[in-house]
Structure 1
Amino acid sequence: MDKIRQISSELRDWIISTLNNGVSPVAIADAMIKKGFDPKFAYEALFRIVGNESIKTSETNLNTYQSELPEIGKKGNVITTTDREVKVLSRVEKPFILHLDHVLSIEECDELINLSKDRLQPSRIVDPTTGEEKVAPGRTSKGMHYTIRENALITTIENRIAGLTDFPVENGEGLQVLNYDIGEEYKQHFDYFPPNKVDHDKGGQRVGTFLIYLNDVIEGGETVFPKAGVSIVPKKGSAVYFHYGNSKEQVDRMSVHSSVPIVKGEKWVATKWIRQGKIY
C-alpha cells in the first residue's frame, strides 16, 4: 500500500493545536506513521510546522466544512427557556459563535464556584497517540467535572442549556468547572476530537461548546477565536456558545480558540461539551 505523502489543512491545524498543548513532535510524527504516512514525509512536515514554515496542504470536498445553522441560531435575539429570558449580545456566522447574557444569575455563579473549589485538580488534555488524559504545559488551569444531574444546581444548569440549544441533556458531557490564576491560560486548541478518537458508542463527535463565565476578570482571560477575529471578555453570568460540527460529521477548523493568560485577578468558567448523540 502506498504511503501517505500529503497533509490536509485540518490535520495541520490539529497538529499545531496539539503541539501547543505540550505533545512532542516525535510522538505526533510516530502517530502519523502508524496511520500510514511516509516516515520521511511525516518528520519533514512536523519540522516545518515546528519552525513556523509554510506547508502545502491538499484539500478535497470531503474536508471542506459545510456550515449548518444550529437550532439555537434560529431563535432570534431573545431566547426564552422554562425559567428565564436570555439575550443575545453578539453573533458570528462563520464559525458560528453566539454571545449570550444572563445565562446564570449572580447567585448561581457564586454557588457553583463554592461547590467546585475544593474539588479542583490540574487540568488535563487527551494525548493524541495514547488517548489517555495527561497534564500539559499548554493548559495550565485547574478543573473538575460533575456527573450528569449530580445535584439540584447542576440539573438546573443542564436543563437551561438544553432549553437554549435544543440538544438533550444526555447529549452533553458532565459540566466542567475551570479556574485560571494569574498567568494561567489554555493555548490555541480545538474542542472536537481527532477523527481516530471519536467513540460512536458514547455520543460520537463533539459538535458544540457552551462556555459560561462565572466571574468578572480584572484583566486578561479573554476567549479568543483568532481565525474569526473575535475576542470575548468574561462577564459574570454570560456565556458563549460555538458550534463546529455538522450532519455530515465534518468539523469546523475555524473554531480554533484559546483562553489568554490572566493578568489580574482570576477566572472561573463552566463548560458543557455537546456531542452528536446521547452519551448516557
Structure 2
Amino acid sequence: METRLHTKVTPDWHRWIGEALAAGHPPAELLATMKENRFDERAARDAIADAVFGSAVPVASPAATTAAAFTSRLAEGHVLHAGDRDIRVLVRVSRPTIALLDNVLDADECFMLRELARTRLARSQVVNPGTGVGVVQDIRTSEGANFGRGETELIARIDARAAAVMGMDGEHGEGLQAMRYGVGAEYVPHFDFFPPDDPGSEPHLRHGGQRVSTLIMYLDDVEAGGETIFPRIDFSYVPRRGQALYFEYTAPDGSLDPLSLHGGAPVLAGEKWILTKWMRENAFAG
C-alpha cells in the first residue's frame, strides 16, 4: 500500500531547511531531499520559499501607510479600457487581488516580443537578501531580457498599455522583462515585493519605493507544465498566448500579503515565454 505524502512541515524540518540554506545548499537540493522523504511537493516548496523569502512582513515605506494606498488599483467591471485596446477580465480573486485578463497582447506582438528578447537573453537572477545584488540561483532557472522604458515603439506601446491596465502612471513602472523557460526550468514560489527587513532591499527601495503590483503577460502557449501558481490559495493558471495575470501584494490590514506567494511550475514540454511589468509606489528612475 502506498504511503501517504506529508502535507505538514514540522518544526524540525523547518529548522533543517534553515540550516541547510545557511550552509549553502541550493533550494532545488532541499526540495529533492524532502520529496525523497515523502513530502508533498507543494508543501515542501512553500516551506522552502518561506525560509528563502520570509513570510508576512510590514509595509516598508512610510509613503504607503494611508488607507488609499491599499485600495486595489485595478478598475472595476468586465472590460478594462487600456488606451489602444479593450481588455476583458475573465477571473477575479479578492485576496490576494488577482485578475486573469484576455486580449492583452495580439499574436503579432507576442511574436515580435519573443524575437526581440532572443537577441539579449541571459540567465535570470534573484536579489541577494543581504547585499541587494542580483545573483544566479537554482530557485530561478529561466533566461531573461530587460528592456528600458519606451526603448522601441513596440516597447513603448506595451509599457503604456500595461500602465493603463495596472491603474498607475507609467513613471512608476520598472522596465519590461521578458523571460524564457525551457524544459525543466522553473521559479520556485517567491514574493515580488522587497522584504523590508532584508538589508539587500534598501538600495531597491531607495529608487521608487516598494513594488505594489505585477502584470505577467504570456507570449505563447506552453505544451505541458509551466503553470503560474499561488500555492497558499491553491490557484493555478495555465499560460495562454495573449493573456495576462495581474496581482497586488497588500493585505487588508496594510501589511505585505503572504498570500501573494507565487511561482512558475517546471516546464514539462515546449517553452514558456512571459513578459513582466512591475509597478512601484513612487516614480521609478532606476
Q: TM-score, normalised by structure 2?
A: 0.74
Q: What is the letter of the counterpart of residue 250 of structure 1?
A: S
1:183 aligns with 2:184: yes
Query: Which residue is equivalent to 1:39?
Result: none
Deviation at 1:26, TM superposition (A): 4.7
Deviation at 1:173, TM superposition (A): 0.8
Q: What is the letter of the counterpart of residue 253 of structure 1?
A: P
Query: Which residue is equivalent to 2:38?
Result: none
Distance 2:257 2:278 in 1: 15
Deviation at 1:71, TM superposition (A): 2.3
Any residues of structure 2 matched to 1:145-184 within 5 Å, and which?
Answer: 145-184=146-185
| 2:281 aligned residue (258, 265, 276) | 276
Distance 1:62 1:232 in 2: 28
Deviation at 1:150, TM superposition (A): 0.7
Any residues of structure 2 matched to 1:1-40 within 5 Å, and which?
Answer: 24-26=21-23
Deviation at 1:80, TM superposition (A): 1.3
* Counterpart secondary structure, 1:75: coil
Q: What is the letter of the counterpart of residue 108 of structure 1?
A: E
* Counterpart secondary structure, 1:107: helix
1:142 aligns with 2:143: yes
> Once the two structures are aligned, what percentage of the paired residues are identical?
38
1:108-146 per-residue CA deviation (whole Å, 9 max, x = no partner) reads 000000111020000101111121111001110000100
Query: Which residue is equivalent to 2:72?
Result: 70
Any residues of structure 2 matched to 1:103-118 within 5 Å, and which?
Answer: 103-118=104-119
| 1:222 aligned residue (218, 227, 247) | 227
- Structure 1 segments of 4+ aligned residues over 4 angstroms from their partners: 59-63, 246-249
Query: Which residue is equivalent to 1:98?
Result: 99
* Runs of at least 5 residues in structure 1 that lack an aligned partner in the other structure: 1-15, 28-48, 54-58
1:161-212 per-residue CA deviation (whole Å, 9 max, x = no partner) reads 1111221111111100000000000001101002041444311011111100
| 1:250 aligned residue (242, 252, 255) | 255
Q: TM-score, normalised by structure 1?
A: 0.76
Q: Does structure 2 retain, via aligned residues, the 8 Å contact 1:206–1:245?
A: no
Query: Which residue is equivalent to 2:245?
Result: 240
Distance 1:246 1:227 in 2: 14
Q: What is the letter of the counterpart of residue 72 of structure 2?
A: P
Q: How many residues align?
A: 235
Query: Which residue is equivalent to 2:27?
Result: none
Q: Does structure 2 retain, via aligned residues, the 8 Å contact 1:218–1:265?
A: yes
Distance 1:62 1:214 in 2: 32
* Runs of at least 5 residues in structure 2 that lack an aligned partner in the other structure: 1-13, 25-46
Distance 1:61 1:213 in 2: 31
Deviation at 1:69, TM superposition (A): 3.6
Q: 1:200 to 1:246 in 2, by over 3 A?
A: farther
